[in-house]
Structure 1
Amino acid sequence: MRAFRVTAHDTPPSLTRMDPPQPGPGEVLVEIAACGLNFADLLMIRGQYQDTPALPFTLGMEIAGTVRGHGNGVTGPAIGTRVAVFAGQGGLAEFGVFPASRAIAIPEEMPFEDAAGFLIAYGTSHLALAHRAHLQAGERLLVLGAAGGVGLTAVEIGARMGAEVIACARGADKLAVARAAGAAHAIDSETGDIRAEVKALGGADVVYDAVGGAQFTAAMRCTNPEGRILVIGFASGEIPDIPANHLLVKNISVIGHYWGGYMQFAPQTLTDSLATLFGWYREGGLRPHIGATYSLDQAADALALLKGRKSTGKVVVTP
């Protein structure tokens, strides 16, 4: 089979031919139909992600496909079941073996492309907004990086939860995508003054920050007293310093959120969140935005699009 592999952190990943894997105890073999890319994939190439696997490894954190085999002790999902898997690695390949406990059956009406970009993006935003920040209907939600893979789902979920969503993204095209997802207001991060424009709207009660850097600082300065700032990621490449005295004076909470961690310390919380999200999808209440689809031969181009921050929604590779 073909797989897109990282063999050294100072060498670009490459497409390689290798033997298909065999499922071990507790694992399922999945024929991979689609793999959603994430910013963390770029960090893994450089060895900078907190969960970077040991070399060599196959990129691709989340996949969708069909179960084709069971390892010892596995009773389900049944062979032939359409599943989505938060794999952590191994997704940019034609086949992969993954823990059966992570394979989640997907609705029959859900295309593989939607499923491959669903778990991390929607799961991150729903758990962050509902469980960590306790977003309430009528509150004002500022989303930084609002047209990106996770940011766009935060706009969509925030609007569904009844918040007044302010989308911040780069350029008119990206802001149009965010408005279509439910944003009530739009700020161009290149030309606009985030602090001034949000304050003119009444300030932010919750901030969803997948960008970091200067945008975090601007957002903190327009957060209302008792506001909550969700730290999701650092797409800007700059991790902000947080002045604790500002938090004290305004009674602001800064909340870290790593969706994958819930698999270790609170898996039921994650499972309940995903059940809610799949229910919303079945009702037609969620509309995943796939900004670009590439073949496995084009995996390097897909990652370049993500790295250049030129994509909207999810970038998906279809082996």
Structure 2
Amino acid sequence: MKALLCENFGLPETLNMAEVDKPSPNENQILIKVKACGINFPDSLIIQDKYQFKPRLPFAPGGEVSGVVDAVGKNVSHVKPGDKVFALTIWGGLAEYALADSHKCLLMPENMDFITAATTMYTCGTSLHALKQRAQIKPGETLLVLGAAGGVGLAAVQIGKLIGAKVIAAASTDEKLEVCQKLGADDTINYTKSDLRTAIKELTNEKGVDVVYDPIGDKYSEPAVRSLAWQGRYLVVGFAAGVPSAIKLNLPLLKGASIVGVFWGAFAQKQPKESMQNFKQILGWIDEKKLQQNIHQVYSLKDGGQAIRDLMNRKVIGKNVVKIN
């Protein structure tokens, strides 16, 4: 089978197309004939050996796929060969066939297409878990989404609105913020043009925000924490800017605030019933056309490295997708 391989840790330009053996599932795995692979920020980290999961070289990046079940292990009963599925693979998705653990693979609804399916699990799963289980956000509260035009950011904007929050979207260009507004943001902040703290004070009448959703890190984290309202919650989602932030611990003390980690993959593994309930809600919203992905561009398998590079260069509004079979 064809695969886009990381043979040595490095940047996306070092990925190479290759012919490799088709894998076989173990007793708890599913082999998927991949139709589409969503591109996410961890793909840029895992090829540089900067991610918490460490696959052995060589491997194909690509942590989120949709496709058709080709084979299943003996302990797998909820799907069978021929079923259309979407799955979290962590790596291996930029290939014609990919393995997924059975508890990370779901049946696709009949009316869902492969592109939508390959861009749903990571972004929407992360964002609903963050806002529901971790922030316990309530209708009427104010949510600030940093990096709001990225995949998880746009999911958080929409899910925040569906829960009933007032949503402030913050991003780096007016073009990105226009998409955020189309998908439901109440207010926007271009943090390359405006001081983040000043803008938040103006938009909240100096009260601050109840929840900060931060997949960016770096220089925006501290002003965001300083902008929390009393008993606010700061969600640590990721570090797309490349640098985890050093936050002064007197700040949450003074505000009675919480700094809350969000690790959706571990949540899905350790609390599968709650995760499945989340996905029932997500798929219901998608079916009702209340939740959607903004597909930035669709690439071929040989151009998968460029899809990761464009994400790293912050050119992507929403999600990049690689179409494979």
CA contact (8 A) 2:38 2:62 kept: yes
Per-residue CA deviation, residues 169-210 of structure 1 (Å, 9 max, x unaligned), is 011110001111110111112111110011112221100001
Aligned partner letter, 1:47 = D
Partner residue in 2 for 1:297: 302
C-alpha displacement at 1:13, in angstroms?
2.0
Aligned match of 1:280 in 258, 279, 285? 285
C-alpha displacement at 1:26, in angstroms?
2.3
Aligned match of 2:321 in 309, 313, 316? 316
Partner residue in 2 for 1:199: 201
Are positions 1:188 and 2:190 aligned together?
A: yes
Partner residue in 2 for 1:237: 242
CA contact (8 A) 2:147 2:171 kept: yes
SS of aligned partner of 2:260: strand
Partner residue in 1 for 2:253: 248
Please give the alpha-carbon distance, in whole angstroms, between the structure 2 residues aligned to 1:145 and 1:218: 14
C-alpha displacement at 1:99, in angstroms?
2.2
Aligned match of 1:138 in 140, 152, 172? 140
Please give the alpha-carbon distance, in whole angstroms, between the structure 1 residues aligned to 2:242 and 2:75: 43
Residues 229, 73 of structure 1: alpha-carbon distance in 2 compared, 3 angstrom cutoff: closer
Partner residue in 2 for 1:90: 92
Q: Which moved more, 1:137-146 or 1:235-244?
A: 235-244
C-alpha displacement at 1:21, in angstroms?
1.5
Aligned partner letter, 1:277 = I
Using the size of structure 1 for normalisation, the TM-score is 0.97
Aligned match of 1:42 in 35, 38, 44? 44
Please give the alpha-carbon distance, in whole angstroms, between the structure 1 residues aligned to 2:247 and 2:103: 38
Q: How many residues align?
A: 319
Are positions 1:3 and 2:9 aligned together?
A: no
Aligned partner letter, 2:201 = K
CA contact (8 A) 2:103 2:269 kept: no
Partner residue in 2 for 1:259: 264
C-alpha displacement at 1:110, in angstroms?
1.1
Are positions 1:221 and 2:226 aligned together?
A: yes
C-alpha displacement at 1:124, in angstroms?
0.4
Please give the alpha-carbon distance, in whole angstroms, between the structure 1 residues aligned to 2:179 and 2:143: 17
SS of aligned partner of 2:8: coil
C-alpha displacement at 1:236, in angstroms?
0.9
Aligned partner letter, 2:223 = A
SS of aligned partner of 1:275: helix
C-alpha displacement at 1:281, in angstroms?
1.4
Per-residue CA deviation, residues 238-266 of structure 1 (Å, 9 max, x unaligned), is 21111111111111111010111113322
C-alpha displacement at 1:299, in angstroms?
0.6
Please give the alpha-carbon distance, in whole angstroms, between the structure 1 residues aligned to 2:253 and 2:275: 31
Q: Which moved more, 1:273-282 or 1:176-185?
A: 273-282
Residue ranges of structure 1 left out of the alignment (5+ in a row): none
Please give the alpha-carbon distance, in whole angstroms, between the structure 1 residues aligned to 2:99 and 2:253: 48
Q: Percent identity?
A: 39
Partner residue in 1 for 2:165: 163
Aligned match of 1:125 in 124, 127, 137? 127
Aligned partner letter, 2:99 = V
CA contact (8 A) 2:221 2:247 kept: no
C-alpha displacement at 1:28, in angstroms?
2.0
C-alpha displacement at 1:82, in angstroms?
0.8
Residue ranges of structure 2 left out of the alignment (5+ in a row): none
Per-residue CA deviation, residues 142-174 of structure 1 (Å, 9 max, x unaligned), is 000000010010000001111110000011110
Per-residue CA deviation, residues 193-231 of structure 1 (Å, 9 max, x unaligned), is 110011112221100001111111111121111110101
Q: CA RMSD in A?
A: 1.3
C-alpha displacement at 1:75, in angstroms?
2.9
Partner residue in 1 for 2:78: 76
